[in-house]
Amino acid sequence: MKALIRTCAVACTAVVALFFSTYASAGAYAGFKVIEKMQCATCHNLSGEVGLKTAGLWRKGPDLYYAGNKYRANWMSDWLQNPKRVRPAGTYYFDHVESGKKMDMIRKTSFDEHVRLNAKNAKDVALALAEMRGKNALVRTEKHDASITAGAIGELMFDKVNGCMACHRIDSDYGGLSGPEMYTAGKRLKPEFMLSYIRDPQAWDHNSMMPRRDITDEDLQKLVNYIISLSGAPKAGDGKLTSLDSAAKNYRYYCMQCHGIAGHGSGVNARDMSVPPRNHSDGKYLKARTDAELFKVIKEGGAAINKSALMPPWGGTLSDTEIHDMVKHVRHLCNCKYEAK
Ligand code: HEC
Ligand code: HEC
Ligand code: HEC
C-alpha cells in the first residue's frame, strides 16, 4: 500500500511538473504545487492514465484529470473550502453500504472528512484543476441550448420516462443514493459535460455505474435544463428540507392526485371532473395570474375566485408560508412569472 502511494506520488509529480511547464498562470502554478504537496493524487486520477496497479487507489475519489471540462470553476473553489459529499453513498457505494433488515443501508461511519483548503489555496487549486482538460473531444462537440426546456414535464422525464431518479436525488430527501445528487448539479457541472455524460457515461469512465441509453438530442437538452432548474434555489446540504424542497414534496403529496405527476392537469382523479384541474405547465395562462391570485386560490379554493369548487381550499392544511412556497413551486412548473397585459 505504502509502496503504491509512493509510486503514485512519483508518477504524479511527473504529471504536475508537466503542467508547470505548459501553463503560465501564476495561480494555476501555485495550485499545482498545492495538489502535489497535499498528495491529492493518492485518491484522484489526475493524469488520465489508468495503470493496473493504481486504478484501485484512484477509485477512492472521482477522476479529476478532466476537471476543467466537468466542473464550474467557482464551484470547485467553494467546495474545496467547504467540502460536502455529493454522492450520498460515496464514490463507490460498495465501500459504504451494508445490508439492513429491509434494504441495504449507508454505513455513515465509513466516510472520512475530505481535506479542506484555505481560500487562497482553494482558488489556486481550482485554477489548476480548470487547466485539466482530459477528454476534450467529448465536450467539444456538445452545444447546450438553454431554450429547449421540458417545462413541467421535466420531473416526469427524469422520474418516470428515463428512470433517472432511481439512482439520483432531485431534492435532499427524494430519489436514489448511488449517483451524485442532481439538485446541486447545475451549480457544480458544466452543461456540455452533462449532455455528454448522459449521452455516454462509459465514454467518460468505463467503470461508470450509470447505464447508457439512447436519448434524442432534444431530450438530452430537456433533461439537462431540468437538472439545471433544480439548482435554482439554494438547498440545505445537511439533509434538512429547504422551503422549496418542502413545496415540491407537498405538491407531490397533495396536488398531484388531481394536477398529475407532470403537473399537466391529468392526475388519477381527473377523469370524471366536470372542470379539469389546471395544467400547471401552461405558462400562457399562468402568466396572466398574479402571485396574490394564486395564493388566494390555493388557500381558499376555486370557489373563492369564482372557479370550480373541485379545486379544494388548502388553508386548513398548509400554513401561509407553505402556500407562498407553493406559489413559487407552481411558478417553477410553468416556468413563468406574472406579466401585466
Ligand atoms: C483520502 C482520499 C482523498 C484525498 C487525499 C483527496 N480527495 Fe478529493 N475526494 C475524495 C473523495 C472520496 C471524494 C468524493 C466525495 C463524494 O463522493 O461526494 C472527493 C471529491 C473531490 C472533489 C469533488 C468532486 C466530486 O464530483 O465529488 C474535488 C474537486 C476534489 N475531491 C479535489 C481534491 C483535491 C484538490 C485534493 C488535494 C488537495 C483532494 N481532493 C484530496 C477523496 C480524496
Ligand atoms: C443505475 C443508476 C443510475 C441511473 C439509472 C442514472 N444514473 Fe446518472 N449517474 C450514476 C452514477 C453512479 C454516476 C456517477 C459516476 C461517478 O462520477 O462516479 C452518475 C452520474 C451522472 C451525471 C454526472 C454527475 C456528476 O456529478 O458526475 C449526470 C448529469 C447524470 N448521472 C444524469 C443522469 C440522468 C439524466 C439519468 C437518466 C437518463 C441518469 N443519470 C440515470 C448512476 C445512475
Ligand atoms: C381534488 C382535485 C384537486 C386537488 C387535490 C388540487 N387541485 Fe388545484 N385545481 C383543481 C381544479 C379542478 C382546478 C380548476 C379550477 C377552475 O379552473 O375552475 C384547479 C386549479 C388550480 C389552480 C389555477 C387557479 C386559477 O387561477 O385558475 C392552481 C394554481 C391550483 N389549482 C393549485 C393547486 C395546488 C397548489 C394544489 C395542492 C396544494 C392543488 N391545486 C390541489 C383541482 C385540484
The ranges assigned to domains in the chain are 2-131, 138-230, 243-334
CB atoms within 10 A of CB 291: 14
Q: How many whole angstroms from 219 Cα to the centroid of ligand 2?
A: 16
Lowest mean pLDDT among 44-58, 206-220, 306-320: 44-58
The residue length of the chain stands at: 341
Contact 246, 173 (CB under 8 A): no
Mean pLDDT computed over every residue of the chain: 85
Q: How many whole angstroms from 61 Cα to the centroid of ligand 1?
A: 5
The 10s digit of each residue's pLDDT in 87-128 is 888 887 777 878 877 788 888 887 889 999 999 999 999 999
Q: Is 28 exposed, middle or buried (0-12, 13-18, 19+ CB in 10 A)?
A: buried
* pTM, entire model: 0.68
pLDDT at 270: 84
- The C-alpha cell 407552481 sits at 330
What is the CA angle 135-171-194, rounded to 5?
Answer: 15
Kindly provide the residue ranges of all beta strands, DSSP E only, lying in the chain, ordered along the sequence: 97-98, 105-106, 169-171, 174-175
CB atoms within 10 A of CB 32: 25
Q: How many whole angstroms from 290 Cα to the centroid of ligand 2?
A: 38
Pocket perturbation via mutation, ligand 2, pick of 63, 76, 167 by most ligand atoms within 8 A of CB: 167
Contacts 24+ apart (CB under 8 A), 18-25: 19/128, 19/131, 19/132, 23/131, 25/127, 25/131
- The C-alpha cell 421535466 sits at 154
Q: Which CATH class is domain 2-131?
A: mainly alpha
Pocket perturbation via mutation, ligand 3, pick of 311, 317, 318, 326 by most ligand atoms within 8 A of CB: 311
Helix (H) or strand (E) holding 327: helix 320-334
CB atoms within 10 A of CB 203: 14
Res 307 pLDDT > 90? yes
> What lines the ligand 3 site, CB under 6 Å?
254-255, 257-259, 269, 273, 275, 277-278, 289, 293-294, 297-298, 302, 307-308, 310-312, 314, 326, 330
Res 314 pLDDT > 90? yes
Question: In angstroms, rounded to a whole number, what is the distance separating the alpha carbons of residues 54 and 265?
Answer: 54
pLDDT at 25: 83
What is the average pLDDT across 283-312?
94
Contact 323, 300 (CB under 8 A): no
Tell me if domain 138-230 and domain 243-334 are identical in fold: yes
Which superfamily, per CATH, for 243-334? Cytochrome c-like domain (1.10.760.10)
DSSP 8-state symbol, 330: H
Contacts 24+ apart (CB under 8 A), 251-254: 251/326, 251/329, 252/174, 254/314, 254/317, 254/318
> What lines the ligand 2 site, CB under 6 Å?
62, 91, 162-164, 166-168, 178-180, 185, 189, 194, 197-198, 208-211, 223
State the maximum Cα–Cα separation within the chain, in Å, rounded to a whole number.
Answer: 77
Question: In angstroms, rounded to a whole number, what is the distance separating the alpha carbons of residues 74 and 1?
Answer: 34
pLDDT at 127: 94
Q: How many whole angstroms from 99 Cα to the centroid of ligand 2?
A: 23
Position 153 confidence tier, pLDDT thresholds 50, 70, 90 = confident
Question: In angstroms, rounded to a whole number, what is the distance separating the alpha carbons of residues 263 and 273?
Answer: 16
Q: What is the CA radius of gyration of the chain?
A: 23
Helix-strand-coil split of the chain, %, nearest 5: 50, 5, 45
- The C-alpha cell 458544466 sits at 190
User: At 26, is the secondary structure helix, strand, or coil?
Assistant: helix
**Of all protein residues, whose CA lies closest to atom 15 belonging to ligand 1?**
85
CATH of 138-230, one of 1.10.569.10, 1.10.10.10, 1.10.760.10, 3.20.20.410: 1.10.760.10
Contact 52, 146 (CB under 8 A): no
Query: φ and ψ at 126, to 5 degrees?
Result: -60, -40
The 10s digit of each residue's pLDDT in 24-58 is 588 899 999 999 999 998 889 898 876 655 555 55
Query: In angstroms, how far is CA 70 from the centroid of its own chain?
Result: 13
